[in-house]
Amino acid sequence: MDQDALNFDPHVSVDCVILGFDGESLQVLLSRRGNEVPEEQYNNLKLPGRLLHTDEDLDEAALDIITSVTGKHHPLVKQFRAYGSPSRTSNPKDVLWLENAIKQKIGRIVTISYLSLMRINSRTARPKDNDAQLWYPVQDLPSLAFDHNQIIQDTLNELYRMAGQQPQMLFEMMPAKFTAAQLRRLHEQVSGKTLDVRNFAKLVMNKPYIIPLNEWEQNVSHRAARFYRFKP
């Protein structure tokens, strides 16, 4: 090991890209920080995350973060990528913020990012300490702290890739009962392509793990859509 590595220990944090789907569009859960920094500063929004605790595995930290901001207990998590550029912490606003939060001089933070998928409901965005959590559509995000916009973009590309191979994972984001159109819109959002309605019905909706229910939409001004559920 080389000499100039001695005694250099960057901070290590875990940040989570928690994605959900509201039936219309893909959403990401962001933390809005409390009072330390004026509200109007653009980078008051960030991914949920924190420094790694002593004796805590990376996956454990991700699970803990996700559970604490969403209340969901065994969420699907997948480690995605580490970000360690020294310039990550170069924005003065981010530095101010960090030093406020960590109460020490910050040289540099290596972050391990995680992807998590979940259903959006009334419980999946709950205040935690000083922070409030809110779902934002991934199209048209505001500027976020650090390189978090980049992390989200990279993670969406990863989601696209993974969903191509295991489309079942998308059910993590669907409500317990859903219509064919909702599931199709999710596939479309993830892949960025518009899908043929008939082919989608044939190829996806009659997979053995998609169970049609004897329930239909209510009070819609057009033919009511059938509900389905997912059998794991």
Partner DNA sequence: CCAAAAGTGTTAAAGTTACACCCATGT
Partner DNA sequence: ACATGGGTGTAACTTTAACACTTTTGG
Q: Closest approach of Cβ 135 to a second copy, in Å? A: 23
174 close to 166: Cβ distance less than 8 angstroms: no
| Near DNA in 138-167, by CB under 7 A | none
Q: Closest approach of Cβ 54 to a second copy, in Å? A: 5
Of 36 and 217, which has the nearer Cβ to a second copy? 36
Distance CA 10, CA 36 (A): 24
Q: Examine residue 12 and tell whether it contacts a second copy (CB under 8 A).
A: yes
Q: Examine residue 36 and tell whether it contacts a second copy (CB under 8 A).
A: no
Of 115 and 180, which has the nearer Cβ to DNA? 180
Q: Examine residue 198 and tell whether it contacts DNA (CB under 7 A).
A: yes
Binding residue (CB under 8 A) for a second copy from 2, 39, 40, 140 = 2
Partner from DNA, a second copy, none contacting 220, C-beta within 5 to 8 A by type: DNA
Of 82 and 201, which has the nearer Cβ to DNA? 201
Q: Using H for helix, E for strand and C for coil, what is the string for 47-110?
A: CCEEECCCCCCHHHHHHHHHHHHHCCCCCEEEEEEEECCHHHHCCHHHHHHHHHHHCCCCCCEE
Point out which span in 18-26, 56-64, 168-176, 187-195 binds a second copy (CB under 8 A).
56-64
Residues that bind DNA (CB under 7 A): 179-181, 196-199, 201-203, 216, 218-226
